[in-house]
Amino acid sequence: MVMVCVVLVMLGLLVARMYQLQVVEHDIYTTLSDKNRVQVQSVAPPRGLVYDRNDELLAENRPVFGVTLVPERVDGMEETLAQLEALLDIPEEDMERFQRRLREPRRPFQPIPLRYDLNEEEIASLAVHRHELPGVEVSAELVRYYPHSELTAHALGFVGRINREELQRIDPVNYAGTNYIGKSGIERFYEDLLHGQVGYQHVETNARGRTLRVLERQNPVPGEDIQLHLDLRLQRLAHELLDGRRGAIVAIEPDTGGLLALASVPGFDANQFVTGISVADYRALSTDIDKPLFNRALRGQYPPGSTMKPMLAVAALDSGATTRDKTIWDPGYFQLNTGGRRYRDWKRGGHGWVDLTDAVAQSCDIYFYEIAVEMGVDTMYDYLSKFGFGEDAALDVSGALSGLLPSRDWKRAVRSEPWYPGDSVNLGIGQGFMLATPLQLATATSLIANRGHWVEPRLLKSIKGDRSTEEFLPPGGHSPLELKNPDDWEFVVDAMAEVMHGTKGTARGAARGASYRMAGKTGTAQVFSLAEDEEYEEEDVRERLRDHALFVGFAPVDDPQIAVAIIVENGGGGSSTAAPVARAMFDAWLQDFPGEEKALVSGTGSGGAIDAE
């Protein structure tokens, strides 16, 4: 009887425990079971596409196969990695990146990428050994691809794998499942717009972690597609015109501020950086003497030389330092004091009697030496800052530098010296301490083309959706440059037209035969300084120490459609090297890209003598 009672008690306890597990704690154990069976996976959103102004695709997404590991499902991480290294070629930097991400905080069951861009043989090898590699998956993902990579690398920038510093600042929820982020250029500036919103899916898995089916899915929101002002045809032409040389071309639509071309040559293949560039390839790029990774259009800071003279002419007229009719005698040199240092003119023997129009057209240094001393550094600084020098005036161009607009305070702070009159003399021809980027020169030229109306440079033209560009473009902060006599704008524009069409204009050869009128200014910037009585002989100077060739201009004169700034490093004279490049750009844009736009590039189409400036 006692045994029967014991059995009944034990049976009762067993029934009670079964009741507690099956009824009372049913929800708890169902949840625990589902956690073993159902996993929540993040779904990365497709990145928004980028188009040029004519709807040519500049940045797209293509599927790439990669291998990922889910640490929670891997049986022995070291052994698994050793086995994968035997099956795949895994670069050392990829393995180091994987080990680093393995140690960093992350969501449970979040896959960690190990290798990207697997080929068919590698995919097949992993498939054969799949049963030996729990937690290892071959997955397809959309990866950024630039079909015109070298042409657009400096303008668009590129995306790359998210690094440790970026992990600290991004939203870990929205970037769950995303391995890439904008690193530079447009890709970085509009990251929030292009990235989109992450999605999720609940999937049923077996005991080995393999996905059996999708139970529920919340689709990701793709990033917005954007259209740029950039014109791929003009961008391609700019690269062709500079092919074999080092330099930059920036073209702006004055009316909108849209950047039509933003070319830095030589360029590089941005696709190399997307899934991770190898150490050897990066070393080859970073040690290349031509610096293909350096964005000359935005970050190249050069002495602007005589391309500053139109801006200084505006400043001199408005400040009263000169008049339209004032003439000076140019003997070929300028002296602050009798018997003092001689500041030379580029033309040996000088230009004789010149007024302001002649000084711009013939690029007379002596005239600008005199008005620079008359204005002084404070006046020149005030006006040149209103042209956008000394700052990054662009709205959405990531990484642009501000150049150097020297002032009295700057020199005292940096050099611990006062500002000397000789410093003003050098600033009067865009030399000395003054540095400007091609983007700044194009911006200032566009301001002249607009007769003082400010429109900040921008790349974004529209968003291909319901969102407004004003939502993402920073507001412009520049007021119009208003002159005491607004007609002074037309006077300076006419002087720049004389550069191109005048009988003594320094770029008259480049404008010969044009069906439209253009305005411009040539420039030549020294790479190294000459002694007072030393003459510059190009053939005696090593190529990388030769003068830089510059040009700024716009066309047509009466209704500007395009403004350009061009620099050809160590190219020699601006009139012989840079001006023909500008003419080809003008012809292409204004004449709808005629087939003969390259005829003037070598100078063979100039049809006349070209002066040194």
Prior bond to 266 cis, omega within 30? yes
Q: Residue 459 — very low, low, confident or very high, per pLDDT cuts 50/70/90?
A: very high
pLDDT tens per residue, range 142-176: 889 999 989 999 999 999 988 878 878 888 888 88
* H or E stretch at 419: none
Residue labelled with tokens 């029967």: 4
Q: Residue 118 — very low, low, confident or very high, per pLDDT cuts 50/70/90?
A: confident
Phi then psi for residue 358, to 5 deg, are: -60, -40
Q: Where in the chain are the domains?
A: 40-228, 232-265+301-460+481-590
CA–CA separation, 60 and 145 (whole Å):
5
Residue type, 538: E
pLDDT tens per residue, range 67-114: 888 888 888 888 888 888 888 888 877 788 888 878 877 667 778 888
pLDDT tens per residue, range 397-406: 888 999 999 9
- Choice between 447 and 278, residue whose per-residue pLDDT is larger: 447
Q: Among 125-139, 231-245, 352-366, which stretch is predicted with the lowest mean pLDDT?
A: 125-139
Q: Evaluate if residue 61 carries a pLDDT over 80.
A: yes
Q: Among 286-290, 302-306, 591-595, which stretch is predicted with the lowest mean pLDDT?
A: 591-595
In this predicted structure, what is the pLDDT of residue 363?
Answer: 94
| Averaged pLDDT for residues 509-523 | 94
| Averaged pLDDT for residues 376-403 | 94
Environment class of 605 (CB within 10 Å of its CB; exposed 0-12, middle 13-18, buried 19+)? middle
Percent residues over pLDDT 90 in the chain: 56
Q: Residue 217 — very low, low, confident or very high, per pLDDT cuts 50/70/90?
A: confident
DSSP codes of every residue in 233-276: HHHHHHHHHTTTS-EEEEEEETTTTEEEEEEEES---THHHHS-
pLDDT tens per residue, range 531-552: 444 444 555 456 677 788 999 9
Mean of all residue pLDDT scores within the chain: 86
- CATH code, residues 232-265+301-460+481-590: 3.40.710.10
DSSP strand pairing (247-253 vs 333-335) = unpaired
CA–CA separation, 425 and 417 (whole Å):
17
- Nearest in space to 612 (alpha carbons), one of 507, 539, 500, 540: 507
| Averaged pLDDT for residues 199-204 | 72
In this predicted structure, what is the pLDDT of residue 75?
Answer: 83
In this predicted structure, what is the pLDDT of residue 140?
Answer: 81
Q: Residue 598 — very low, low, confident or very high, per pLDDT cuts 50/70/90?
A: very low
Q: Is 351 annotated as a binding residue?
A: yes
What is the gyration radius of the CA atoms in the chain, in angstroms? Answer: 32
CA–CA separation, 386 and 377 (whole Å):
14
| Averaged pLDDT for residues 116-123 | 82
Q: Evaluate if residue 224 carries a pLDDT over 60.
A: yes
Q: Residue 284 — very low, low, confident or very high, per pLDDT cuts 50/70/90?
A: very high
Tell me the three-class secondary structure of 265-278, residue by residue. ECCCCCHHHHCCCC
Catalytic residues, which ones?
306
Q: Evaluate if residue 179 carries a pLDDT over 70.
A: yes
pLDDT tens per residue, range 414-432: 999 999 999 999 999 999 9
3-class secondary-structure state, position 112: strand
In this predicted structure, what is the pLDDT of residue 563?
Answer: 98
The DSSP secondary-structure symbol of 287 reads T
**Interior/surface letters 38-65, b for 16+ CB within 10 angstroms, e for the rest:** ebebbbbbbbbbbbbbeebebbebeebb
Q: Is 34 annotated as a binding residue?
A: no
Cβ(390)–Cβ(403) under 8 Å? yes
Q: Among 102-111, 194-203, 361-370, 592-601, which stretch is predicted with the lowest mean pLDDT?
A: 592-601
Sign of CA dihedral 299, 304, 309, 313: positive
CA–CA separation, 517 and 515 (whole Å):
7
Q: Residue 607 — very low, low, confident or very high, per pLDDT cuts 50/70/90?
A: very low
In this predicted structure, what is the pLDDT of residue 609?
Answer: 38
Cβ(340)–Cβ(466) under 8 Å? no
In this predicted structure, what is the pLDDT of residue 280?
Answer: 87
| Averaged pLDDT for residues 249-266 | 97
The CATH class that applies to domain 40-228 reads alpha beta
- Nearest in space to 265 (alpha carbons), one of 237, 232, 239: 239
Q: Evaluate if residue 183 carries a pLDDT over 70.
A: yes
Q: Residue 596 — very low, low, confident or very high, per pLDDT cuts 50/70/90?
A: very low
Q: Is 364 annotated as a binding residue?
A: yes
